[in-house]
Each structure stands twice: as structure tokens, then as C-alpha cells.
Amino acid sequence: MRMDDAVTAWLDELARVRRLSPATVRAYRSDLADLSAGITADVALAEVTLEDLRAWLWDATRRGDARSTIARRTAAVRGFFAWATEAGHIPTDPGVRLVAPKRGRTLPAVATAEALEGVLERMASAAASGDPLALRDHAILELLYGAGIRVSELCGLDVDDLDLDRATARVLGKGAKERVVPFGSPAVRAVQAYLVRGRPTLAARSAEGGLGAARAVFLGARGARLGPRAVHAVVTRELGEALGRDAVGAHALRHSAATHLLDGGADLRTVQELLGHASLGTTQIYTHVSSERLVASYRQAHPRA
């Protein structure tokens, strides 16, 4: 079986059966395309060896790729060759002894509650002008921070997913797992103002949006469903100054929401459920952020620190 055909079949199974996110499937596709170009141009799939895979990963290391990238590449090739072996396309699995590097555990970027309050107040003032994009952008940041949802979950929201009376949203997370998340009254007000005064103007700008755009909560300037890239651009523009950084991902709002919940006394299991983490270990990184703040406060305030 040709490498390209096998990769296509495996990725299709990941998307349809295991229901991995489109972003993960795209990343795996890119990794395996690089592998195919690097070591299997003239080699049959069954002839790929463990040494070939190690050499490919070593090339990525020498290029300076991040540990997380190399770990993902390792997961991609191990998963692919394990599947190819089980499906009978190759006699032995060359990736079974492939070891991924340990991921460096970096603490997420977190804004202070005060800094976010300033950003959101400024955006509320801009939205008061009635500009549809200002209304939309204010609602986006209020909802990302207020509910702690992922950007992909926000972009996938339909109008019917919102219950403003109960201040909840139904979102579709990783692995197509649905959950209901609460958010506060500031987000309710911002979203309500956008739906009444901003969204109809954006929806009227495009006759090509189709049914998907007609249902979507957040629309672009031309009336189509807003995509993740546009959301990241909005957050980077509005939040960069608050964090004192030139490049800030939209995930910083999710990180901030989780950290502030723990700082406010929420238990770890509750935060895990709100964020939609499959593993408690993923949520635990935010306890390190809170611990760092505790240590910093101690060192600043205690006379014997």
C-alpha cells in the first residue's frame, strides 16, 4: 500500500470514528506529509524502519522544533504505524519503540482580573457607539473569559445554543463531547446587545452565508460565520497590552478564567468540568499558576520571606 493512501485512510478513520478535532487531524496530516517527503520518497511503507523514524525526529530537533511539536510528531507516527500494522498493511510496527521527548511544562499566560476589567470596560465603551463589530468583539471577549470556552467552541455556537435567561451556553468540545457552561451577567448583557443591535446588521451584509451563517452566533464583517483566526486576531489586538506582550493567544482568556476560578475558591473538579478537560491532570496546571501567585505574594509581603 502506498504511504499517501494509507495516511488518507488513517486520517479519515480518526475524523469519522475517533472524532478527533479538525485541528489535530490537520496537524497529523502535515506531520506525515513531512515524513513521507523526508524518508519514504523511494521506500515502501513496509520498509520504513525505527532508525528512519528516529533520524526524521532528530532532523526536527536540529531545526529547533519545540518539544511539544516533536512529541506530537512522535504520537502521529506511532499511531499511524500501529494502525497500519493492525490493518495488515505492514508486517511489523517500526514505531512501537519510538520514544517521545518529555514535554516542557510551561505555565500559561494569565492576565490579572484588574487588567481584564480595564480591557472589558474599554470595549464596552466602544460597543456603546452601536458599531456592530465593536458589539461583536465585546461579546466575544466577555464570553471567552466569562465561560472559559475554547475558541473553536465559541466559533461553533449557534443562536439556539444560547440560553440568556439561564446564562448558559451549550458547546461542542473535543471529541464531539457536548457540555453546558454558565457565564456571568456582564457576558449576558454583552451578548444580548450584540444579538439585538450588532448581529442583524452583519447578517444582512451577505446573501452567501447560507444556513450555517444564519444560525451562527458570531459573524464576520461580510456576514459569514466567524472563524478561529479572526477571533485570535481580535483577542491579540485587545489583550496584548493588558498582558504586556506583543503576541497573546485567545487561549489566554481561558487560562485566566480557570486561574481566577481557583483563586476564588472553586474546586479542581468543578473547573475541570467547566473547561471540558478529559483528564484532571490537564486542569492541574492552573494550580501551579495559583501557587506561583501565592509564593510571589508571600515574598512581597512577609518580613522574613
d(CA 223, CA 293): 43
298 catalytically annotated: no
Q: Which residues contact 245 (CB under 8 A, 6 or more apart)?
A: 109
Annotated active-site residue 260? The verdict is no
Whether 277 is catalytic is yes
Q: 255 catalytic, yes or no?
A: no
DSSP readout, 257-294?
HHHHHHHTT--HHHHHHHHT-SSHHHHTHHHHHHHHHH
Q: Is 286 a catalytic residue?
A: yes
- Give the H or E element holding residue 171: strand 168-172
Query: What is the C-alpha to C-alpha distance for residues 56 and 78, in angstroms, rounded to an integer?
Result: 13
Q: Which entry of 29, 174, 197, 205 is annotated as an active-site residue?
A: 174
Query: Per-residue DSSP letters for 21-40?
Result: -HHHHHHHHHHHHHHHHHH-
Question: Could you say which of 89, 138, 150, 255 is catalytic?
Answer: 150
- For 42, residues 6+ apart whose C-beta sits below 8 A from its C-beta are none
Per annotation, catalytic residue among 29, 122, 251, 293: 251
What lies within 8 Å, CB to CB, of 44 at 6+ separation is none
The catalytic position among 138, 254, 255, 260 is 254
**What are the grid coordinates assigned to 194, written together?**
450584540
Q: Is 288 a catalytic residue?
A: no
Residues 6+ apart with CB under 8 A from 276: 149, 150, 153, 171, 173, 174, 177, 179, 181
User: Active-site residues: which are they?
Assistant: 150, 174, 251, 254, 277, 286
